[in-house]
Every structure is written in structure tokens, then in C-alpha cells.
Chains A and B, each alone.
Chain A
Amino acid sequence: MSSPAGLAVLTMGSESTSSEPAVPWRHLHPASLVVNLIPMTWRTFLRFWPLLVASFWGRSAEGAVNLLFVALFFALAVFRTVLHFATVRYRMANGRLEIQEGLIARVERALDPARIQNVSIVQNVFHKVAGLVELRVEMAGATGMAASDGLLSALSVAEAEALRSQLGRPGAHVAAAAAPEEAIDNAGILEIVAYGVSEGRVGAAAVAIGLFLDAANQLSPSLVPKSAQGMGPFAVVGVVLLALAGGYALSVGTAVLRWYGARWWRVGDHLHFEAGLFTRRRMDIPLKKLQMVQIAEPILRRAMGFATLLFDTAASNAPGSPGEVATEACVPMVGAEDVPDRVRAAFPSLDTTIDGDLLPCAPWAVARAIGVGTLQWLALAALVHLAVPQPTVWALAVVGGLLGFLDARRQGWRVTERFIVVRRGFLARNTWVLPREKVQSVRWTQGPLLRLNRLGRVVIWFPGGRLALPDVAEAEAAAVFGSLRDRR
């Protein structure tokens, strides 16, 4: 069985650290039963409320079955909460955090502080009422985004702080307490609203409104026109405005919930992040565990003069396309002029610029991007043409070509002695800053089209994701590949 580095998973009865009688096992706070039960019940309600409404509305045998179904899930939520409270035990022993859980399949985890990527303390409203917090410990290359490797869902604040201190700075929590706190940045409410506006969830809102209209049409056909053709021009404009307003409201609401009171600061060699309106999340990332910083600049945010910084550790594995990563911590709004300083706060040894002066992709890569963009939007135009058979629809292909051109022209990259910087995107521009010492493996890829155009692509795998450099001339790509291969 392969397990993430530093995360020993032992089954009871085999090798066990329970031979450490001097350190007693500790249990979750008794209020855990209430603290965890309410959110779990709420989540069950959110998932099954249509069924619940239908069962009360119908008042038929079918409704009773639905109600029984929902009750079954509530019972399951209660059972899981009780089981969690009854079986989770933890202790700090042999310099490691040991956690036992499970009833039938009992599992013991030993989390080595040297391998911990980050420690979070989360406090939702229920925790706040009970004076408790949740402690989450993330390890490298672990169980992905499904769950934390070490999850203690209800601890007193003092207990959680003591554990965080021991895990975050093993053996050095006394010295760390004396380290000065250096504030780096915080986000005001206006900045968070601006973040929400520039995040843009118009598409999601449009889909939601579409589904709502469709459902309303199914329930009461007389109330809603059957199709767009049946709607007058004012109704169409109204629906579009509704989608836009809904999208922005959703986006702003989500941003305020997630990032209210966002601030980040540095204590010694650790970065700290804190944010959240109802659920407050505080994260502690050791600087040396930081794998990459991503600067996200969607077009609207760019126009406002802001960028978002995203910080990745090895705990965030994202099996996706090159450039796709899962983020651990985020600073929602940073003034564009402050971005280099903020990145330098995370990577003090940064030896390159990140706001310009990057090398472009090859001219052929620009032509290729125009071709690919045109083809993609041509396919979209063909689909749209089925619904709206107007010749002007084919103009979308030109838009695709233009976007491909703008995207390629703004691509940039640089490989220095210590860092790799890659920039991509026009509508949603992203810049990634990756220390070379974090590179795990390097790939050189060349498909038939790249070969035909004498281009090459270098893909870098690092803990937490992978990053593709823009397509460059074959010889240049080979030189970069060789440089990264021979010396990290």
C-alpha cells in the first residue's frame, strides 16, 4: 500500500503506537455532537429540500416515501456524527500527531510535523457559539481535495492553538511566540465586493435562471413562454439583465462570505492567512512548504488595477491539465503595483521580475493559437447556428481567432537561476511563479502539429500540480528542457 510521505496509516492490531502509555489519548470536545450535528443536518437539508417540499406538497403515498427517504438520511447524519465523536482519539506522542478513528475498520494515522504542508483552524458559527474550532492538517501528495489528512472537528481554542503551535513549528513554539508579527496585507469590504464583481458568475446564474424557467414551464406552462421565440424583445432583455444581476449578486455574496476580513501576515518563517464571515478559516503555511504562487488577473479585475494571489503547497494535488492547480490559500485583492512585493514576501529569494519583461512564445505559436481559437469558436458557432440560423453567427469564429491571438501575444515565460515564471491568458490572465528547487520532473512533448511548426513544449511537474511553458521554437524548448533537467 502506498501512502503519502510522512503519513503512516496503521491498522490496529498490527504495528501500533499505542505502546506509548505515558501520553494519554484525548477525545473531541463533548459539544462536538451538537457542533457537527447541526451543519451535517443542514447539509442534508440543502441536498434534499426539493424532496422534502414535494413530500409535504403532495401529501400522497409517494410523499410519505420521500419523507421516509429524507428521514433515513437524517438518521445517517446523526449516526455518522455520533460515530465520529465516539471513535476519534488523538495525542501528540513521539513528536507526531497520532489520530485514531473508525469502529469496524479502525485506522490510526501518525502525522509527522516535518511532512505537514499546512495547518488550518476553522471556526463556523456553530463552533463560535460553543467556543470551539476545527483543526485541519494537510500532508503532501495526500488524499487530494476530498478531506484533510488530520481532521479534529471540535477542539477548544486553547487546545487547537497548542497543537498548531507544536505541528507548525515542531519543538520551537516557545521561540515562535517571541517572533514579531509582520502584517503584509488585508482586504476591506469594498475590495471584497470588487473581487466578487470581477469574479463574474454570470454563466452559473444564467444556467440557474434557465433551469428555473424550464422548471416553471413544466409546472405551469401558461405562466412562462415556451421558448425564446415566444418571448418579446423586452422579455429577452429582462432575462439577460436578470442573469447578469443574479450572477453579480451571487458572486459578491460568495466573495463576502469567503473573504470578509481577509488578512495575511508573517511570523518568522511562516505565512498566516485568515478570512471568512460566518466560517472563519485561519491557515499557517511554513515558507519552505510553499510550492508556487499564482497571480490571477481576470480582465475586469485587471481593469480595476487589482490581482488575486493564490498560494499552493504540496497538499493540493490537482490531476488536471497543465497549469491547473488546487489552491491552499488566497489573498483576494492586491493592488497591481503591490504584487511584486507581495510575491517577494512569499519568496524572499525571488530573482526575476514578474510584471513584464518576460520572453514571448514563438511566432508560429501565435499563428497556431489563432487557428485553434478560430476552430474552437467555429464549433461553437455551428452549435449556435442550430438554434439561431443567422449567417452573422459565423462571425463568432473571428472572435475566437482574435481571442487566440490576444492570448498568445500575452503569453510570457522566464527561467532564471532560482525561479520559473509563466504567464498565460487574455480574458483570464494568470502568472505562475515557481521555485526551481520545487521541480519534481520535467517533460518535453511534441505532437505532430508542434513538430510540423518546429515548436516544442516543456511541462514541469511540481508538488501540487503541473505547469506548461508557452510553446517556443524547438531549439529553445530543448535548451530549456536541458537546463531544467541538468540543474534544478
Chain B
Amino acid sequence: MQQLDPRVVTLWRLQGVVSVFTSWVPIYLGLGWFLAGRFGFVVTVAALGTLFALLLLRALVWPALQFRAFRYAIRPHDLVVEQGVIFRQTICVPRDRIQHVDTRQGWIERALALSRLLVYTGAGLSADGSLPGLDADEAVRLRDELARGARGLDDGV
């Protein structure tokens, strides 16, 4: 089993920190409004400060654990992904079931020269297998390799 590119830890940390400063803002505001009306300014600031510190700590520590738990293997007949720190999951996608393979890059991934590989089967619209944080060139190589094994027409799906 292979590990992801170690730069993915930086990617996940940056994504986590950005999230702490952006998508959590409505929670801070709502919680602040709720607490300020009942417990006063000091308690509100202390509670929000603690929440902020915990979220920041999680954003910095969790990616290293995620990295250690994430493994993948591209075998002759299937793609296997193991992931999850608390909820462990092993995903197996037979190569002859792959419908198409995508590579995607967000702005942080582009800055770190990383890429995400998404593997789709006939099971639905969401990706059945996802490999985040691959080196961009490696992702393209894997995409082409997996796409070669993708199935032909009229397979009953």
C-alpha cells in the first residue's frame, strides 16, 4: 500500500485553517449572540476563544493523523483505498467497473503542485474512490492508467 504525497498534510492544514476563519464565522456569530445575551461579555469571549483554539488545534493536528491512516494501492484488477482515523473504511473499486476518472486542482492544490484523483463507477454521481493530495504529474499518470482499464459499452449498466 502506498501513502499520499506528504505535502497533502500542508494542504489539509491550510484548508482547515481557511475553514476556521471562514465557514465557522456564522457559528461564532450565532453562538456569540446567544451567549452574550445570557452570560455577559467575558464568558462569551472565553467560550469563543476556546472554541477557536480547539478548531485551530484540530486543523493543525488532525491532518497528520489522516495522512498516517490513508493508504492506497492500484493493483492489476482493482483500486483499494484505506482511510479514516476514527471511522476506518476500506474501499475497493474493480478496474473494469470504472466509468471515468477525473483529476481536479483547487487554488491551494495548484500552489502546492498537488492534484486530486476522482474515480467514478456506474454507482452514481459521486466519486466511488478519491485520492487527494497526489503529486500533479503522478495524478495525471494514474488517471491515464486507470482510464485505460475503464469498461466498454453495453455492459448492462
Chain A residues in the interface with B (C-beta under 8 A): 2, 5-6, 112, 114-115, 140-141, 144, 288-289, 291, 314, 317, 319, 437-448, 451, 461-466, 481, 484-485, 488
Bitwise interface map of B from 82 to 111 toward A, beta carbon under 8 Å scored 1, else 0 = 001011111111100101101000000000
Whole-angstrom CA separation of A444 from B82 in the bound complex: 9
**A444–B90 touching, CB < 8 Å:** yes
**B90–A443 touching, CB < 8 Å:** yes
Nearest-neighbor residue (CB-CB) of B126 within chain A: A319
Closest 9 CB pairs of A and B: A440-B121, A461-B123, A440-B123, A114-B154, A485-B92, A444-B90, A463-B122, A441-B93, A288-B156
Q: Which of A114, A141, A442 contacts B122 (CB 8 A)?
A: A141
Nearest-neighbor residue (CB-CB) of B77 within chain A: A486
Chain B residues with CB under 8 Å of A288's CB are 156
**B153–A443 touching, CB < 8 Å:** no
**B97–A440 touching, CB < 8 Å:** yes
Max chain B CB contacts within 10 Å: which of A5, A115, A289?
A5
Minimum distance in angstroms from B12 CB to a CB of chain A = 21
**A461–B90 touching, CB < 8 Å:** no
Query: B120 on the interface (CB 8 Å rule)?
Result: yes
Nearest-neighbor residue (CB-CB) of A313 within chain B: B157
Minimum distance in angstroms from A404 CB to a CB of chain B = 21
Whole-angstrom CA separation of A118 from B100 in the bound complex: 22
Bitwise interface map of B from 33 to 59 toward A, beta carbon under 8 Å scored 1, else 0 = 000000000000000000000000000
Q: Which of B98-157 contact A (CB under 8 A)?
A: 99-100, 102, 120-126, 128-129, 153-154, 156-157
Nearest-neighbor residue (CB-CB) of A444 within chain B: B90
Q: Which of A114, A291, A484 contacts B153 (CB 8 A)?
A: A114
**A437–B123 touching, CB < 8 Å:** no
Whole-angstrom CA separation of A466 from B125 in the bound complex: 12
Minimum distance in angstroms from B101 CB to a CB of chain A = 10
Nearest-neighbor residue (CB-CB) of B89 within chain A: A445
Q: A461-B123, A485-B92 are in contact. List 16 more A-B contacts (CB 8 A).
A: A2-B100, A2-B120, A141-B99, A288-B156, A289-B156, A314-B122, A439-B97, A440-B93, A440-B157, A441-B93, A445-B87, A447-B87, A447-B88, A451-B88, A463-B124, A485-B80
Chain B residues with CB under 8 Å of A444's CB are 89-90
